[in-house]
Amino acid sequence: MSSTLSGLDLRDVTRDDAALRRFLSGLPGVDQVGAEARAAGLATRSIKTTAKAWAIDTAISMVDLTTLEGADTPGKVRSMCAKAVHPDPSDLTTPAVAAVCVYPDLVETAVNALRGTTVQVASVATAFPSGRAPLPTKLADVRDAVAAGATEIDMVIDRGAFLAGRYLQVYEEIVATREACGSAHLKVILETGELATLDNVRRASWLALLAGGEFIKTSTGKITPAATPPVALVMLEAVRDFAQTTYELRGVKLAGGIRTSKEAIRYLVMVNEIAGEQWLDPSLFRFGASSLLNDLLLQRHKLRTGAYDGADYVTLD
């Protein structure tokens, strides 16, 4: 356990499939019951008043406001971008979100709508969500999105290859995607629901980090389970341990199934106590979400006014 994490030359590890497999299998196992218990323990933290206000604003600033539907249109995307910049027209002190997240063919619309703002444009790519297409097609997908102005790319790994043990193939695809990103940053979607075990989540996290992903991301949001506390725990431990070994800071994005402020705040507690406060920043932590934003706004209202709100008091995207 110790020799694999402290000061090993990680280029050796990716020399070939066998070396990579040995490295990944040598990572400490994850005891699922223990991980779930730790996550549940962190969920008992009671975050009130000033701490809650800070957490809500921080969470808003970490949202990647997302629309990834077959029925998306330029109109839908423009409307969402307006909300991304001014989530609450009745309170302009509300922070803007970190980014919007759209399909590649709508990147141009988003870029135009967000010009001059702080909100980034993230695009899914690599035959999202399944990832089942030849590599050249997946890379072309990336290049198109980057050419259209996306500053962030959310790729999917080949889960079939991972589960079949072809780790080097997964690694090399991520490396190639990173190259195709150019100056855009890369988030690597592990699709943890399909990886099934926490051991796999740990291994896939390390694999993506070794391959150069700036962020590891839980899910496409198209299947359940998506982001869950034990999965988030293991991924935060991975970026923490990776930073300790390589001195490089990488981020975590939780996507899929996070709908309430309560959940978001619990995840911020987890970031705080597992990875550390450096990660409490949109440059290292994101929520991929759509309905979460409105619940954050409702909670923000409640803290300000003292009364519970209803859906009519926040805008549609």
Partner 1 sequence: MPAFEYAPAPESRDVARLRASYGIFVDGRFRAGAGEAIKTVNPANEEPLAEVAEAGPADVDDAVRAARTAFDGAWGRMPGRERAKYLFRIARAIQERARELAVLESLDNGKPIRESRDVDVPLAAAHFFYYAGWADKLEHAGFGPRPRPIGVAGQVIPWNFPLLMAAWKIAPALATGNTVVLKPAETTPLSALTLAEIIAEADLPAGTVNILAGGPSIGQAIVDHDGIDKIAFTGSTEVGKAIQRAVAGTGKRLSLELGGKAANIVFDDAALDQAVEGIVNGIFFNQGHVCCAGSRLLVQESVIDDVIAALHRRLTTLRLGDPLDKNTDIGAINSAAQLARIRELTDAGEEEGATRWSPPCELPDRGFWFAPTVFTNVSPAHRIAREEIFGPVLSVLTFRTPAEAVEKANNTPYGLSAGIWTEKGSRILSIAGKLRAGVVWANTFNRFDPGSPFGGYQESGFGREGGRHGLGPYLA
**43 makes contact with partner 1 (CB under 8 A):** no
Question: For the CA atoms of the chain, what is the radius of gyration?
Answer: 19
Q: What share of the chain is helix, strand, coil (3-state, %, to 5)?
A: 55, 10, 35
Measuring CA to CA, which residue among 255, 137, 127 is closest to residue 191?
Answer: 255
Q: Which of 154, 158, 295, 317 is catalytic?
A: 154
11, with CB counted inside 10 A (0-12, 13-18, 19+), is exposed
Tokens of 211: 């391959």
The nearer residue to partner 1, 83 or 240, going by C-beta atoms, is 240
Binds partner 1 (CB under 8 A): choice among 13, 24, 35, 113: 35
Binds partner 1 (CB under 8 A): choice among 13, 20, 30, 207: 30
Shortest Cβ distance from residue 36 to partner 1 (Å)?
A: 10
The nearer residue to partner 1, 171 or 279, going by C-beta atoms, is 279
Which residue matches tokens 């309905």? 291
Distance CA 128, CA 307 (A): 41
Binds partner 1 (CB under 8 A): choice among 47, 82, 133, 223: 47
Q: Looking at 49-57, 94-102, 133-141, 212-220, which segment touches partner 1 (CB under 8 A)?
A: 49-57
Binds partner 1 (CB under 8 A): choice among 8, 10, 43, 51: 51
| Interface of this chain with partner 1, residues 96 to 115, rule: CB under 8 A | none
Largest CA distance in the chain: 60
Q: Looking at 111-119, 130-138, 175-183, 264-272, which segment touches partner 1 (CB under 8 A)?
A: 264-272
**9 makes contact with partner 1 (CB under 8 A):** no
Binds partner 1 (CB under 8 A): choice among 7, 9, 11, 49: 49
| Interface of this chain with partner 1, residues 180 to 239, rule: CB under 8 A | 237
The string of DSSP letters for 164-223 reads TT-HHHHHHHHHHHHHHHTTSEEEEE--HHHH-SHHHHHHHHHHHHHTT-SEEE---SSS
Distance CA 216, CA 248 (A): 14
Q: Is 154 a catalytic residue?
A: yes
Where in the sequence numbering do the catalytic residues fall?
154, 217, 253
